[in-house]
Structure 1
Amino acid sequence: MSRFAPDLAPADLAPVILAAPAWARIGITVRDPRLRARAAETLARSILDELDADAPARDANQLSLGL
């Protein structure tokens, strides 16, 4: 995980997981593999959506510095 998000801690992910839809959190524990896969996808999507929402938006008017 540190390769993709070096400043992300498990404590940062816990509230995101708890904010995911309840059916997805429960759905990852069911026996039906199709429902479990759909629930896992929904859970992953909600985590990624929340993490992307925290990323600062890039301003098109801001010039980049050539370092």
Structure 2
Amino acid sequence: MERIERQALSAILLAAPGWARVGLTVPDERMRERAADSLAATIIEKLEGSSPADVNQLSLPL
């Protein structure tokens, strides 16, 4: 396992969805678990270099 620099990890966490970052602080245990899972998925995606397209993202005509 590689060691990741603190600045890189900070950038990845800031790139995570806002609801997930805030979700870690809510009193609801299920929401905290979902938020933690989303943050973990974001970290893994960024470290592996894979970022699947969001099916909910509307495409802009060029």
TM bracket, shorter-chain basis: 0.7 to 0.9
The runs of at least 4 consecutive aligned structure 1 residues that moved more than 2 Å come to: none
Q: Which runs of 5+ in 2 are unaligned?
A: 51-62
Where does 1:10-29 land on structure 2 (aligned, <5 Å)?
10-29=6-25
Deviations 1:19-56 (A, max 9, x none): 000000000110100000000000000111011007xx
Instruction: Give the fraction of aligned pairs with identical amino acids, expressed as a percent.
Output: 42
Query: What's the counterpart of residue 30 of structure 1?
Result: 26
Query: Bigger radius of gyration, 1 or 2?
Result: 1
Paired with 1:23 and 1:30, the residues of 2 have a C-alpha distance of 10
2:2 aligned with 1:5, yes or no?
yes
Q: Which runs of 5+ in 1 are unaligned?
A: 55-67
What CA RMSD, in Å, does the superposition of the two structures yield over aligned residues? 1.3
Give the letter for the 1:5 counterpart: E
Where does 1:48-67 land on structure 2 (aligned, <5 Å)?
48-53=44-49
